[in-house]
Structure formats: structure tokens, C-alpha cells
């Protein structure tokens, strides 16, 4: 079984900074998906994802709950999104363009609320979602990777689905509270 | 089954991993329970959402760029955040401080101790190569790949001949790309993505722009050279792949840096698809950079197997930042093109199909072909072209085996053995040669459309010591197929061209390597009457050809309708 986020964070803090690559490997796709929904531009999303990871690395010492690394990372990314959007707005204002800065619709918010909800799932459920959908593994392959029966994988997926459905229905889009850890 | 049990099983059912009885119970409950129907719909929608997210992000690869930036920014951040070398930062940076510390002596010492000298230099060459192509506006490259001409873009086969494969990609001002191999052309013109499969004049369309589609991801990775080179470097470091550097001189006398990487895929050796696709193969990759410009000039990739190495891919032309003619983004389609469904729609009776096992779906598809019920067969495969109808119509199922999976394929393989309906063929025979012997000069279908022209390739048959000019056209055809079925290439050569023998031999060898039962594969031919054609100055011998096929049907159900679709192995 792969080490947990907590273990990787601990390794980074204990003088093995190169282990941060495994956290990048694990979260680059979900983070990109979140940023692509928020920025609606793939190239900007890639840039913002890179920026978010770099900031996360340099803020690792301030992360209180290493097991919530993903959720914390999304919080950092939300802040990066604001900065990107502010810069874009300033550029529009400076150039006196008639084009309006895109206003985020409710539909767009719904799209990234799901990304935030994934980040907030319990680790066992989040892990199967990431492996199944972002690593593209089948349920059997996820089971092999985690060395658990396939039934455990589908149970965790099922619980994750229930949690995600509930979050998407009830959670208003908001900045993550964990963001304060950065300040 | 109650609602809780049913809802807990919905995902497993959607994923096709539920046992048939529980799947049936679950289906029955859903059909009778509006609450569970609603949960099922929401589950399905969420499943699609998540699949879409995963696919959209599948090309993202940030490890190299993030770790590179962290290394670059580390000294500045460390100094600002921790001028006195405080505990936590000190620990985080301890390892890199050893490798990349500010004292020059430490750098030299660490590199010398940690890495062989050549490896450090190979790293540098790769890093500079990535930098040299960091801001491309376009790229075009052409290479030779050992593959089947009409198969998937990433399919490799070390026994196959080389095919030309080409990619044009424009990054700025707008992303457009075209990938081409002999049997397939794929164009993304900035608005939509269309692939034409020339072998059966069928096409498939994604009505939007894509960065990669239809199994071309590996080509785009090469096109995105900067990332590719960084990825190679990162993988070499993370997975311990061996890196080597050599220097050489090009034909024009310029100096070259040659980096060799021994890449090992994570796929187990006994996996069914190991070494069939680029991503699943163990390879030795050789990158040649021009020493002065630092640009990548050629790439050679060798498949490394216990039995030895074989070159499978060779890029010999790379054009950087050249204007790409607008006509490249046009794709001319045949007037009678058959459009394949991008994804199967949900059927009114979708549940019946969604609850099938892989084996049940394979059987249902083959039975539909046997009964020539093309509407039903179309529920499992798209498109059903005239070729498919001709080939599979009227087949007989001999047996289906135990399904199996691969660690890297999201579907299931179902072994099958079928008898194909006898097909009428016409074999052209001529004795207009110096030896005055009848030889086979062409194969035609039932409507006398030429399928294989052997005339042009036939050299004059030698006069043999047992030269029997008395063999009739029909006897010649019989002898030709008899020799073929016995794999008697010397005998076969007496009745056909050298290239026909070589091609047949190569196909048999390839089938053997793929694990096919070649004895069963060989067609059984009943030779009929010969008719003289004055137009062609040759005889046409009518034959009936029957064939058994034993192979593995690839089926998958990761589509919006959750139904099994035939994905390959026909």
C-alpha cells in the first residue's frame, strides 16, 4: 500500500524534501481539474496548479493536520485563483477593454464544489476516488493496488458517492476554512 | 433486497463487479423502487462527472516543473523564512542542502559521491534539451513504428513491419493537431476532433477541441518535448531508471550528445497487454541532441525483452516552429463514410444490457452476428460496417472461455472460438511465363473485386527439375493452399510470388507470437471450377474458404450507458 499523505508530509519535514514529488503525483490531476473549472482555461490551470504546489511546499511547516493535505491544498489553490482573477481584472481595466471579466455562474460553482467535496472526503474514500477516476484504474486494479478485496473498494466508492452527493446538494461554494493555516 | 443494500451495491453494479445474482436482485429492486431509481440516476450522473474530470486531467504532469521550481526558489525562501537556519526549515532542506548547497566544494563532492559522472551529465543534457524547446509554436515529426497499419495509434508489435507515423501540432496561436498512420488519420482543427479509419471507411467525431484523443496521448507527449524530457528525467530519478550519456558525431560532422534511458513499465511480465502498447512496454530510449543548439534531433526506442532487443520506433525528422500549411487541418472523408458512435446511448431497455456479465455480453454479441441481427449487434459495437457484416455474419460459436483482465486495461477479455461462414473467393491463375507453369497471380472477392494483386510482385517462375506444366489451374490453386496450410514455404513458392510467401510467413509468425493457434487459424479452401477470362488472359478459379478463429474479445463498460462494448479482438 502507498504511504499516506501524513507519512509523506512527515518525510518532507524530516529532511526528505524530494518526497514532496509523491504528493504532487497524487494530487496533480484532481487539483488541475479543480483549477480548470475555476479558471476555465487549461493553460492557466496548469500554471496555477504549479504555483499552488510550490506554495504548499514552502508552507508545509504550518500544516496542522497533515492528513488533510488535499483539502488544505485546495484552500491554497483557491487563493491562487483569486490572485489570477484579480490580475486578469486589472489587465482588463488598464486596457479599457469593453470585454467584461467573466462572472462566475451558479453552474460553474457547482462544478468545482464537487472538487472541494472530494478533497474533504475521509482518506479511505478519497483514495479510491483518486485511483479510480484520476489514475484511471479499474476497481479490480484499485483493489490490487490497495491490497484489499474489490468489495471493500466498491463499498468505499459507494460511501464516497453518498458523501459527494450530499456535499454537492448542500454545500454552498465557499473558501475553505483551512486556508487560514497559510496566514 | 432492501433499499440500503441496494444503494450500497449500485456502484459495484455500475462498475460491473457484482456477481450476477446480486446484480439481478439489485436491478429488480431498482425497477420497483422510485427512491432507489433516483439514487441510481444520481450515482450514474456522478460517475460520468468523475470520469470526465479524470479524462480532462489525464495529460497533466507537473512533478518535474513543481520540483524544479521548488529547487530554484529554495535558497531565497529559506533565507527569508529562516535566516538562522531554524529547526523545521532546516530539516526540510537538509537533504537538498547537501546536494545543492551554496559551497562550491560541497556541490562537486556531493555529485561525485552520489552519482556516476556520466549520469550527472546526462541529467544536464536532458535539462538543457527541455529548456531549448520550452516555448515552441509548432512541431512536426515523422517516425517509423512497428505496428499494424490500421490498429490503435499506440499499438506496437515487434514482429510487424515499420509503418510511417506522423504528427503535426500547432501550439500557437491556437491549438490544432493531426496524427496519421497508414490506416488512420486524426485531425483536431480547433473546433472538433475527427478520426477516419481507412480500412472500413468509418469515422468517429468528438464535437469539441481536444489536446489528445483516440489513443494518441503518447505522440502528444513526444510533441510536448519540454515536458517529455523533464518527465524522463524525473522518472529516471524517481524509479531508478539507468541514464547514460555518450558523445558522437553526425554525418555533417557536428557533435551530438546521446542520452540513453532504460525505462521499465510498472506492468507485470505476465500481463496480457504487456509490450503491446507503448505505455506498457519495457524500453531502451535513445535521444540524440545537437550539442550546439541543444535541440533534440532523433529518437530511437527499442523494446527490451528477455529474448533480446528490437527497435520499434525511430523518429528521424523533427521540425521546430515551422509554419504548418492550413490544408493539414482538413480531413477529407469518403462520401459513404460510416459514423461510429462516440459513446453508446442509454437504451430504453438499458438495464438488461447493463446487468450482463462480460461473458454474457460477448455471447450476446456473437449470437447477434450469427443470426445477422445487426440492430442487436450494434448495441455492443459501433459501427457495424459492411465489412463486419461480411466477416462475422452467419458465424458459429464453438466455445467461450473464462474471462480475464489486465492490470492496465479497464475492460475484460473474453476468450472465444468461432467458425466463420464460408466466403467465396476467386483466385486468378496464369501460365504466361517462361516455365509455362500455372501460378497464382491474384485473389479476388465474390464480386471479382481485387483483394490482393500478386501479378506485379511475381518474378518469372523458374523452370523446376520437376516442372509440371500439366497441373491445371484448379490443381494449382489446390496445391497453393495445401502448401500454405502445411507451412511448406518452399512448395508454396512454386505457385506464387516470393513476396506473397514472405507476407504469409510473416503473418503466421506474428500470429504465433501473439499466442494464436495458427493451425486453427489457417483457412480450409474448397477449390471449384476454373473459368477462362479473355479480358485478363487468365483463369479464375472459384473457391469456398472457411476459417476458424480463436482469440480474445476485449469488452468494456466504462461508458455513460454502462453497457459492455466490443473494443477489440475481432
- For an interface test with B, give the residue of A64, A140, A163, A165 to mutate (most B CBs within 10 A): A140
Complete edge-to-edge strand list for the sheet that includes strand B242-249 = B242-249, B255-263, B283-290, B296-305, B308-320, B138-146, B162-170, B176-181, B184-188, B193-197, B202-206, B338-339
Minimum-distance CB partner of A24 among B54, B63, B73: B63
Q: Which residue has better confidence, A182 or A155? A: A155
- Inspect the interface and report whether the beta carbons of B57 and A36 lie closer than 8 Å: yes
Residue A111's pLDDT band (boundaries 50, 70, 90)?
Answer: low
Kindly determine whether residue A29 and residue B58, on different chains, have CB atoms separated by under 8 Å.
yes
The nearest CA of chain B is from the CA of A42 a distance in Å of: 9
Cell 468545482, located at residue: A112
Residues of chain B positioned with their CB less than 8 A from the CB of A14: 91
Cell of A51: 504555483
d(CA B230, CA B239): 14
φ/ψ of residue B43, rounded to 5: -65, -45
- Looking at the DSSP assignment, which residues form a beta bridge with residue B196? B185, B203
Record: contact B50-A139, CB cut-off 8 A: no
- Work out the angle at residue B535's Cα, subtended by the Cα atoms of residues B531 and B539, and round it to the nearest 5 degrees: 25
Q: By three-state DSSP, how is residue B219 classified?
A: helix
**CA of A36 vs chain B CAs: smallest distance (Å):** 9
Per-residue pLDDT, B82: 42
**Residue B173 C-alpha, separation from nearest chain A C-alpha, in angstroms:** 13
**Contacting residues of A for B57, CB less than 8 Å apart:** 28-30, 32-33, 36, 134
**Whether B201 contacts B385, CB under 8 Å:** yes
Residue B250: its pLDDT value, please?
76
Q: How far apart are CA A91 and CA A101, in angstroms?
A: 10
The pLDDT, as a whole number, for residue B378 is: 93
Torsional sign, CA A147, A148, A151, A154: negative
B358 touches B221 (CB < 8 A): no
B149: exposed, middle or buried (Cβ count in 10 Å: 0-12, 13-18, 19+): middle
Q: List CB contacts (< 8 A) between B5 and chain A.
A: none
Q: Where in B251-378 does DSSP place strands (E)?
A: 255-263, 283-290, 296-305, 308-320, 338-339
For A136, nearest residue in chain B (alpha carbons) = B54
Q: What pLDDT does residue B62 have?
A: 84
A75: β partners:
none
Report the chain B residue with the minimal C-alpha distance to residue A139.
B15
Query: Which of B58, B60, B70 lies at the smallest CB-CB distance from A54?
Result: B70
- Whole-number pLDDT of residue B460: 59
pLDDT at B455: 65
Instruction: Supply B184's cell numbers.
Output: 488512420
**CB within 8 Å: A133 and B77:** no
Rounded Cα distance, B382 and B344, in Å: 8
| B326–chain A nearest CA distance, Å | 24
- Cβ pair A17:B95 closer than 8 A: yes
CB burial readout B508-541, b (16+ within 10 A) else e: bebbeeeebebeebbbebebeebeeeeeeebbbb
Query: How far apart (Å, rounded) are the C-alpha atoms in residues B243 and B255?
Result: 20
Residue B417 grid coordinates: 472460438
Contacts of B29 (CB under 8 A, 6+ apart): B1, B2, B3, B6, B36
- Mean pLDDT of the A61-77 span: 89
Can you read off the three cell numbers belonging to residue B504? 504469409
Distance from CA of A14 to the nearest CA of B (A): 5
Q: For position A156, what pLDDT does the model report?
A: 92
Residues of chain B contacting A61 with CB distance shorter than 8 Å: 88-89, 92
Q: In Å, how far is B349's CA from the nearest CA of chain A? A: 24
Q: Could you give the C-alpha distances from B186 to A136, B26, B136, B196, B211, in angstroms and in order? A: 23, 41, 22, 6, 12
Q: Which residues of A touch B81 (CB under 8 A)?
A: 58
Closest CB to B95 among A18, A57, A139: A18
Angle between helices B34-56 and A106-119 (to 10 degrees): 90
Is A49 in contact with B70 (Cβ distance < 8 A)? no
SS3 state of residue A134: helix
From A16, A134, A140, residue closest to B17, measured CB to CB: A140
Q: Please list the pLDDT of chain B residue by residue as tens digits (570 residues).
A: 788 888 888 888 888 888 888 888 888 898 889 988 888 888 888 888 888 888 778 778 788 778 878 877 766 665 554 443 333 333 333 333 332 222 222 222 222 222 333 343 677 777 777 777 777 889 999 999 988 888 888 888 887 778 899 999 998 888 999 999 988 999 999 989 999 988 778 898 888 888 888 888 888 887 777 677 777 777 777 777 887 878 777 777 788 888 888 888 878 878 887 778 877 888 898 888 888 888 888 889 999 887 778 889 999 888 888 888 889 999 989 888 888 887 888 888 988 999 999 999 999 999 999 999 999 999 999 888 888 888 899 999 999 999 998 887 888 999 999 999 888 899 999 888 877 888 898 888 888 887 777 765 445 566 666 666 678 999 999 999 999 889 998 888 888 887 778 778 877 877 776 677 777 778 888 999 999 998 888 999 999 988 888 888 999 988 888 899 998 888
Pick the more confident residue, B400 or A138. Answer: B400
Cβ(B380)–Cβ(B363) under 8 Å?
no
> Count of CB contacts below 8 A, A vs B?
136
CB-nearest to B70 from A36, A49, A57 is: A57
CA dihedral B18, B24, B28, B30 (to 10 degrees): 20
* pLDDT for the residue numbered B176: 92
Q: CB-CB: which of B51, B66, B93 is closest to A50? A: B66
Three-class DSSP category at A164? helix
Query: Mind telling me how many Å the CA of B406 is from chain A's nearest CA?
Result: 9
pLDDT at A127 over 90: no
pLDDT for position B540: 94
Whether B15 and A157 lie within 8 Å, measured CB to CB: yes
Does residue A82 have a pLDDT over 50? yes
The answer to whether B163 and B147 are in contact (CB under 8 A) is yes
CB–CB of B88 and A13 under 8 A?
yes
Average pLDDT score over chain A: 79
Q: How far is CA B531 from CA B88, B450, B476, B496, B543, in A?
A: 91, 16, 14, 19, 12
Name all domains of chain A by residue range, CATH numbers in brackets: 5-175 (1.10.1740.10)
Which residues on A lie below 8 Å from B9 (Cβ)? 154, 158
Angle, helices A106-119/A20-39, rounded to nearest 10 degrees:
160
pTM greater than 0.90 = no
Task: Give the pLDDT of residue A89.
Answer: 66
Chain B nearest C-alpha distance from A121 (Å): 14
Amino acid at each position: 500500500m502507498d504511504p499516506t499523505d501524513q507519512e509523506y508530509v512527515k518525510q518532507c519535514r524530516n529532511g526528505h524534501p524530494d518526497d514532496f514529488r509523491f504528493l504532487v503525483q497524487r494530487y496533480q490531476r484532481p487539483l488541475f481539474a479543480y483549477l480548470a473549472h475555476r479558471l476555465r482555461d487549461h493553460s492557466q490551470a496548469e500554471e496555477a496548479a504549479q504555483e499552488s504546489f510550490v506554495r504548499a511546499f514552502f508552507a508545509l511547516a504550518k500544516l496542522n493536520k497533515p492528513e488533510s493535505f488535499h483539502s488544505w491544498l485546495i484552500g491554497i489553490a483557491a487563493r491562487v485563483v483569486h490572485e489570477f482573477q484579480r490580475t486578469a481584472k486589472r489587465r482588463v481595466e488598464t486596457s479599457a477593454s469593453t470585454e467584461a471579466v467573466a462572472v462566475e455562474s451558479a453552474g460553474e460553482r457547482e462544478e468545482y464544489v464537487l472538487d472541494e467535496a472530494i478533497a474533504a472526503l475521509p482518506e479511505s474514500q478519497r483514495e479510491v476516488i483518486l485511483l479510480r477516476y484520476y489514475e484511471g484504474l479499474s476497481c479490480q486494479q484499485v483493489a490490487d493496488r490497495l491490497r484489499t478485496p474489490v468489495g471493500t473498494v466498491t463499498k468505499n466508492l459507494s460511501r464516497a458517492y453518498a458523501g459527494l452527493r450530499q456535499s454537492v446538494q448542500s454545500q454552498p461554494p465557499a473558501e475553505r476554512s483551512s486556508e487560514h493555516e497559510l496566514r | 433486497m432492501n433499499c440500503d443494500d441496494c444503494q450500497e451495491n449500485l456502484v459495484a453494479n455500475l462498475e460491473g463487479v457484482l456477481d450476477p445474482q446480486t446484480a439481478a436482485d439489485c436491478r429488480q429492486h431498482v425497477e420497483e423502487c422510485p427512491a432507489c431509481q433516483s439514487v441510481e440516476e444520481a450515482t450514474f450522473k456522478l460517475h460520468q462527472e468523475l470520469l470526465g474530470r479524470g479524462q480532462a486531467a489525464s495529460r497533466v504532469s507537473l512533478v518535474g516543473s513543481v520540483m524544479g521550481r521548488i529547487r530554484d526558489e529554495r535558497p531565497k525562501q529559506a533565507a527569508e523564512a529562516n535566516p538562522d537556519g531554524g529547526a523545521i526549515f532546516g530539516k526540510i532542506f537538509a537533504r537538498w542542502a547537501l546536494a545543492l548547497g551554496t559551497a562550491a566544494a560541497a556541490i562537486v563532492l556531493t555529485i561525485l559521491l552520489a552519482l556516476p559522472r556520466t549520469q550527472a551529465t546526462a541529467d544536464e543534457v536532458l535539462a538543457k534539451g527541455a529548456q531549448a524547446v520550452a516555448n515552441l509554436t509548432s512541431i512536426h515529426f515523422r517516425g517509423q513504428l512497428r505496428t499494424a497499419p490500421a490498429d490503435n495509434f499506440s499499438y506496437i508489435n515487434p514482429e510487424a513491419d515499420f509503418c510511417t507515423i506522423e504528427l503535426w501540432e500547432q501550439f500557437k496561436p491556437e491549438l490544432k493537431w493531426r496524427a496519421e498512420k497508414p490506416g488512420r488519420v486524426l485531425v483536431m482543427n480547433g473546433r472538433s476532433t475527427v478520426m477516419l479509419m481507412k480500412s472500413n471507411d468509418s469515422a468517429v467525431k468528438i464535437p469539441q477541441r481536444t489536446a489528445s484523443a483516440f489513443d494518441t496521448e503518447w505522440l502528444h507527449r513526444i510533441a510536448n518535448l519540454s515536458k517529455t524530457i523533464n518527465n524522463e528525467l524525473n522518472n529516471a530519478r524517481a524509479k531508478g531508471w539507468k541514464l547514460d550519456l555518450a558523445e558522437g558525431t553526425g554525418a555533417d560532422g557536428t557533435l551530438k550528445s546521446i542520452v540513453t534511458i532504460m525505462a521499465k513499465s510498472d506492468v507485470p511480465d505476465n500481463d496480457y497487454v504487456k509490450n503491446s502498447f507503448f505505455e506498457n512496454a519495457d524500453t531502451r530510449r535513445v535521444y540524440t541532441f545537437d550539442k550546439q543548439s541543444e535541440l533534440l534531433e532523433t529518437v530511437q526506442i527499442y523494446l527490451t525483452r528477455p529474448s533480446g532487443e528490437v527497435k520499434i520506433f525511430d523518429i528521424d525528422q523533427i521540425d521546430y516552429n515551422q509554419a504548418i500549411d492550413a490544408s493539414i487541418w482538413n480531413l477529407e472523408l469518403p462520401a459513404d463514410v460510416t459514423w461510429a458512435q462516440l459513446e453508446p446511448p442509454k437504451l430504453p431497455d438499458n438495464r438488461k444490457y447493463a446487468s450482463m456479465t462480460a461473458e454474457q455480453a460477448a455471447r450476446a454479441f456473437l449470437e447477434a452476428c450469427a443470426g445477422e441481427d445487426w440492430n442487436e449487434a450494434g448495441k455492443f459495437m459501433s459501427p457495424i460496417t459492411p465489412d463486419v457484416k461480411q466477416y462475422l455474419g452467419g458465424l458459429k460459436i464453438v466455445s467461450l472461455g473464462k474471462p480475464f483482465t489486465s492490470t492496465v486495461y479497464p475492460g475484460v477479455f473474453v476468450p472465444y472460438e468461432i467458425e466463420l461462414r464460408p466466403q467465396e473467393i476467386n483466385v486468378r491463375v496464369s501460365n504466361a511465363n517462361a516455365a509455362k507453369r500455372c501460378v497464382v497471380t491474384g485473389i479476388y472477392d465474390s464480386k471479382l473485386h481485387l483483394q490482393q494483386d500478386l501479378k506485379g510482385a511475381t518474378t518469372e517462375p523458374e523452370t523446376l527439375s520437376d516442372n509440371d506444366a500439366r497441373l491445371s489451374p484448379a490443381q494449382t490453386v489446390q496445391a497453393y493452399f495445401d502448401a500454405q496450410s502445411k507451412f511448406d514455404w518452399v512448395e508454396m513458392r512454386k505457385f506464387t510470388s516470393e513476396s506473397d510467401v514472405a507476407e504469409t510467413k510473416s503473418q503466421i509468425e506474428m500470429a504465433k507470437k501473439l499466442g494464436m493457434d495458427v493451425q486453427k487459424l489457417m483457412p480450409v479452401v474448397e477449390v471449384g471450377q476454373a473459368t477462362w477470362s479473355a479480358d485478363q488472359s487468365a483463369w479464375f478459379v472459384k473457391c469456398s474458404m472457411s476459417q476458424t478463429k480463436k482469440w480474445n474479445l476485449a469488452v468494456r463498460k466504462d461508458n455513460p450507458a454502462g453497457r459492455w462494448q466490443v473494443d477489440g479482438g475481432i
